[in-house]
Amino acid sequence: MIDTKKTLTSYSLDDAKALMQELGQPAFRAEQLFSWIHKGATVDEMTNLPKDLREKLKLIPFGGVEIITRLTSKKDGTVKYLYKLEDGNIIEGVLMQYSYGRTICISTQVGCNMGCAFCASTLEGCVRNLTPGEMLYEILSVERELQKEDKQDRAITNVVLMGSGEPLDNYDNTIAFLKLVSHPKGINISPRNISLSTCGIPSKIIRLIEEAPHVTLSISLHAPFNNMRSELMPINRVYPLNDVLEAAKLYAEKTGRRVIFEYALISGVNDTKECATQLSRITRGINCHVNLIPLNTVKERNLIGATRKKANEFLVMLKNLGVSATIRREMGSDIEGACGQLRRRVIKEGEFLD
Ligand code: SAH
């Protein structure tokens, strides 16, 4: 029986093989189907599949995403995409241009349940998880456009799971997505070029050691003291700082990969000398790097990003304390680049809603 719940874009190659067997089709059709899906094609475009097979494939829900808006930053060429899902929900992604290639930042959920005080994605909670295929199609729909424009074999080289949503709160779909996106017969993006950003769920971080050992793990730390972190990130009341740090240490030791700690500098909150000192203490002994991000001020929240000068001072303090750290380049600030900002405004203004 065809699984009518699983969408076609979420099919693994094995799923495609099982489907073809069930439909009495030769086995090679499975690879053809898988390869078309990973080119971002619609079923009608899968022209080397027989028409009657395509009609049968149309009975399976597709699970793609449609780009409905593109906003290009005049400052740095960063492009923000709004996508519409088949059920009408809207998500967002961001494409950034670097000297080494293009990085796409994708969402893993519609909204988010984590409740971080500085984040626009979480203001209305999590509407639903994204499927593996929807995450994949956030990439493929953009890749397809870019290939048409610059006729390169591969336009997108890196992926970061740093859009709306908490990937480890949608764990199974995220792992299935990672398998799809790095499959040699698909778009084949190396796990080493993929970063997964999490608010820090220790038991899931430990599962990643076995299930995603080659991705870059980024942990949103944002505060070096437990009480301060709980204020900014309510999830810290469930999974306190120490447990998150222990899981990070274990991940770094077992995988041999450096963990990234993200630290958004908030004026007058976490940018003090005491914070720098404590940050150096808690990260000591962990193979890690601290990524300082000037907070993108979110109107709905009364938290203001530290100035560039203050960020530089904080960086110097960390370096003097022996911490490996850099300030992340701010991209797309003129196009509401931060998590969930654009989606939220668009939904509020009701522009793209049915
Ligand atoms: N849920 C995951 C991934 C999504 S958020 C996580 O918590 O890591 C991606 C990153 O953007 C996180 O580090 C998050 O804390 C940060 N972020 C959210 N809102 C921000 C803002 N207004 N300014 C700067 N960074 C922000």
What does the H/E/C string look like for 241-288? HHHHHHHHHHHHHHHCCCEEEEEEEECCCCCCHHHHHHHHHHHCCCCE
Q: Residues 230, 224: contact at Cβ < 8 Å? A: no
- Examine the residue annotation and report whether 339 is marked as an active-site residue of this protein: yes
DSSP state of 305: B
Residue 147: predicted pLDDT: 84
3-state helix, strand, coil in the chain (%, to 5): 40, 20, 40
Residue 339: predicted pLDDT: 54
Q: Considering only CA atoms, which of 112, 331, 318 is closest in space to residue 234?
A: 112
Q: Report residues whose beta carbon is within 6 angstroms of any ligand 1 atom.
A: 114, 116, 118-119, 162, 166, 197-199, 220, 262, 264, 293, 295-296, 298, 338-339
Distance CA 34, CA 26 (A): 14
Residue 353: predicted pLDDT: 33
First CA to last CA distance, the chain = 34
Question: Which residue bears the tokens 């929900």?
Answer: 89
Residue 350: predicted pLDDT: 42
Residue 332: predicted pLDDT: 65
Q: Residues 246, 206: contact at Cβ < 8 Å? A: no
Token pair of 341, please?
């900002």
Token pair of 241, please?
């700082």
Residue 351: predicted pLDDT: 39
Count of alpha carbons within 13 Å of 297, Cβ hemisphere only? 9
Residue 76: predicted pLDDT: 81
Q: Which atom of ligand 1 is nearest to the CA of 305?
A: 23
Q: Which atom of ligand 1 is nearest to the CA of 161?
A: 3
Distance CA 294, CA 116 (A): 16
Q: Checking DSSP bridges between strand 101-105 and strand 156-161, what pairing results, if any?
A: parallel
Distance CA 28, CA 255 (A): 36
Gyration radius of the chain over CA positions: 21
Question: Which residue bears the tokens 């456009």?
Answer: 145
Distance CA 66, CA 72 (A): 18
Domains of the chain from N-terminus onward: 8-57 (1.10.150.530), 65-349 (3.20.20.70)
Q: Residues 8, 60: contact at Cβ < 8 Å? A: yes
Catalytic residue among 92, 138, 166, 330: 92
Catalytic residue among 313, 339, 349, 351: 339
Mean pLDDT, the chain cut into blocks of 10 residues (354 residues total) = 81 97 97 96 96 96 96 87 96 89 95 94 93 98 87 83 96 98 95 97 98 96 98 97 98 97 95 98 98 83 88 97 90 60 53 34
- Examine the residue annotation and report whether 92 is marked as an active-site residue of this protein: yes
Give, for ligand 1, the residue of 106, 108, 196, 197 to mutate: max count of ligand atoms closer than 8 Å to Cβ.
197
Residue 101: predicted pLDDT: 87
Q: Residues 33, 27: contact at Cβ < 8 Å? A: no
